[in-house]
Amino acid sequence: METNKLKEILATLTVAEKVGQLAQVTPDFFGKSGEITGPMAQWSMSEEQLYQIGSVLGTHRAEEVQKIQTEYLAHSRHKIPLLFMADVIHGYETIFPIPLAMAASFDPLLIEKTAAAAATEAAAEGIHVTFSPMADYVKDPRWGRVLESNGEDPRLSKVLTESYVKGYQGTDLAKNPQHVAACVKHFIGYGAAEGGRDYNTVDISDVEMYQNYLPAFQGAIDQDVKLVMTSFNSLRGIPVTGNKELVTTVLRQHLDFDGVLISDWAAVAELINHRVAADRKEAAAKAFKATVDIDMMTDSYLQELAKIVAEEDALAQLDEAVWRVLKLKNDLGLFENPYRGMDTKVDTTSLKQLSYQAAIQSAVLLKNEQVLPLKTTENILLVGSKAVTKDVLGAWSWIGDPEKATSLADGMSTRFPQLEVLTVEEASDRSLISTALQKADKVVIAVGETSEEAGEAASRADLHLTDSEKELIEVIHQQKAAAILVTFSGRPLILTDVADKVAAIITAWFLGTETGSALAALLSGAENFSGHLPMSFPRSVGQLPYSYQEMSTGRPQTQANQQEKYTSRYLDEENGPLYPFGHGLSYSEFSFSQLTLSQQQLTEGQTLTVQVTVTNTSQTAGFVLPQLYFQDEVTEVIRPKLELLKWQQVFLAAGEATTITFEIAATELAYVHADLHRRTDPGRFRLFLAKSARELVAESVFEIV
């Protein structure tokens, strides 16, 4: 629809109709069932109000969408179509690995492909908007929603967030109805919830916010993301959903976002629970002044906003909010086709293949003492709580059917003819497992979380395996069996007490529909591991929150002062993680040459070229991930000792060597100063080529002048 015609529609709406466009409900209000991802408050609306509503969240199928849309348009005075939104987080019906697992691929193109595939499947069911990607910066795996994140590095998260937006939205939503609008979340600071407890208070400095929390949101906005979602938490002492200064200054002005801002589920009314609003009218007023355009699942706007607009003469602001919603509907082409996307043809075979490839690239080999790959002729015993379960999809796979997923036992049975599987009950019988171990050449122990134990509202204070799982590992260790531990989880786990009792460890996360097939292929060597940790595996919960980006302190612990008392250290644990950010093994071995720099000095406008030769020294083809880190030697505000700068995924045949190039602009070395402006300082910089944030293999120095 042309802009002038859209403005004509806006001009003819009553205040009540305008307010309706800013309210969102579940399908239950239309007599249909829907996805429930938050507390259900008891409220109702008149039939007139119902047919003025602007959007619906949580529908399941195209038939449901079509019925609701048709019924709605039949009652709507202006025939403004409904927006349908849903949590399409890592697939719709075909489930891909959870986002944290996908981040282990370090592959922006793979992310873009899976997002586009998920959009296609969702659009075919009538979905217009996905509440994804999650751009929250995270350092605490006690928080269950690290599952939805891109891990602990802000630069990696920014790149992958951009890829999600590009994949979901494509190039033109109106012309490409197989794509959906993206909603980046949660603005801002949600990942820093105190104690790792969901919905909890957040207190971070503005320097920290601008340096680490905003870049991924800026990346999404640079890709023209259509919506932003506010976070549940407070920041600067005020809940974000009602934080006018924070939202208008940081999001609307500094990040230059002019799209739709939507609250999270019931967050407007929850301003009352935060005790910053006395009632729903005050809550609605605070959210409205903070330019929140859509009130998700409360009647705060619906019942109170018209009175607020009249009392405060705020019609112009109301029009701005409604205009953003109408423009989004127009960008999607809904006025021309309220049923957009529902005739999309979905190639489920290609989606399944992509799910398999994504799972291959997302699993991470943490340890391997020459027991992997398994030989198909070996007698393999499979045990553990995750051995036969089809609970491998992870949280937010609400449309995915677990029965269509492949369990680890399903996958391994097709590759290992002499596989024996013991159920949890059978494995608890000491004599039975002892007999099975005597016959086995190697044993695979599959353990970890259920889908309900990670994700929203799934915070954990203890990240160890369960007592029964640890007991099983101990029994197998005592029998001196060659054991491979496969952990399923939506977060890094504490494996310190079991790592030395097994010969190999694989973190399988939740890998989606093709979990079993992918893991079996990796275990057998038919596929090679290429994943690397996007989030460190800590040694202890006491280290949390943790990031490899350790800041410089006045009394740092070093190799030289390990035994000194007055340094920044623990008495009872090492400072570093069990497995660091960027760590990941494969069946291949690689060597690296020294870094070669195009020049030793860099000025504004110039580009520094860095080269290194990588050689596959093994007899197995595979992927290697050279990681380039840097350190700014002297800064105005404290900076990390090590920061990820660049990475490349390179495939090399057995014995093959290649020279890779990194291009570095001075602006890429900028940081946020005390005045909250990001700029690059002159001075010395150190570059580190690494296999992980802990394993540095080459170093060089240059200067910005």
Q: How far is CA 202 from the centre of its chain?
A: 19
Nearest to 411 by CA among 521, 486, 505: 521
Q: What is the pLDDT of residue 45?
A: 86
As a whole number of angstroms, the distance between CA 497 and CA 106 comes to 28
Tell me: the pLDDT tens digits for 618-634? 999 999 999 999 999 99
Tokens of 303: 């019942």
Is residue 41 predicted with pLDDT exceeding 80? no
Query: pLDDT exceeding 70 applies to what percent of the chain?
Result: 99
As a whole number of angstroms, the distance between CA 34 and CA 61 comes to 10
Q: What is the pLDDT of residue 39?
A: 59
The pLDDT-based confidence of 35 (bands split at 50, 70, 90) is: low
As a whole number of angstroms, the distance between CA 65 and CA 539 comes to 48
Q: What is the pLDDT of residue 4?
A: 97
Burial of 202 (0-12, 13-18, 19+ CB in 10 A): buried
Do 133 and 125 meet the contact criterion of CB atoms below 8 Å apart?
Answer: no
The pLDDT-based confidence of 563 (bands split at 50, 70, 90) is: confident
Q: What is the pLDDT of residue 33?
A: 61
Q: Which residues contact 558 (CB under 8 A, 6 or more apart)?
A: 567
Cis peptide before 154 (omega within 30 of 0): no
CA angle 356, 362, 363 (to 5 degrees): 100
Tokens of 264: 């999270």
Q: What is the pLDDT of residue 287?
A: 98
Is residue 439 predicted with pLDDT exceeding 80? yes
Tell me: the pLDDT tens digits for 665-699? 999 999 999 999 999 999 999 999 999 999 999 99
What average pLDDT does range 306-316 have in this prediction? Answer: 98
Q: What is the pLDDT of residue 36?
A: 55
Is residue 369 predicted with pLDDT exceeding 80? yes
Domains annotated on the chain, with CATH: 352-543 (3.40.50.1700), 588-704 (2.60.40.10)
Tell me: the pLDDT tens digits for 100-131? 999 999 999 999 999 999 999 999 999 999 99
Cis peptide before 492 (omega within 30 of 0): no
Across the chain, mean pLDDT equals 96
What average pLDDT does range 187-200 have in this prediction? Answer: 98
**Cβ count within 10 A of residue 94:** 26
Do 501 and 477 meet the contact criterion of CB atoms below 8 Å apart?
Answer: yes
Q: What is the pLDDT of residue 34?
A: 60
Tell me: the pLDDT tens digits for 52-67? 999 999 998 999 999 9
Q: What is the pLDDT of residue 398?
A: 86
As a whole number of angstroms, the distance between CA 436 and CA 420 comes to 8
Segment holding 413, helix H or strand E? helix 408-413
Segment holding 444, helix H or strand E? strand 442-448
pTM flag (> 0.85):
yes
Q: What is the pLDDT of residue 131?
A: 98
Q: What is the pLDDT of residue 520?
A: 98
Do 632 and 661 meet the contact criterion of CB atoms below 8 Å apart?
Answer: no
Q: What is the pLDDT of residue 28?
A: 87
Segment holding 311, helix H or strand E? helix 300-312
The pLDDT-based confidence of 376 (bands split at 50, 70, 90) is: very high
What average pLDDT does range 345-373 have in this prediction? Answer: 97
Is residue 40 predicted with pLDDT exceeding 60? no
For tokens 């990670």, name the residue: 454
What average pLDDT does range 597-619 have in this prediction? Answer: 96
**Cβ count within 10 A of residue 311:** 10
Active-site residue set: 264
Tell me: the pLDDT tens digits for 502-557? 999 999 999 999 999 999 999 999 999 999 999 999 999 999 999 999 999 999 99
* Pairing label, strands 590-592, 607-616: antiparallel
Q: What is the pLDDT of residue 479?
A: 94
Is residue 222 predicted with pLDDT exceeding 80? yes
Is residue 329 predicted with pLDDT exceeding 80? yes
Is residue 377 predicted with pLDDT exceeding 60? yes
Q: What is the pLDDT of residue 364?
A: 99
The pLDDT-based confidence of 564 (bands split at 50, 70, 90) is: very high
As a whole number of angstroms, the distance between CA 705 and CA 703 comes to 6
As a whole number of angstroms, the distance between CA 589 and CA 618 comes to 5
* 3 state DSSP class of 14: coil
Which neighbouring-strand residues pair with 699?
688
Nearest to 460 by CA among 450, 470, 474: 450
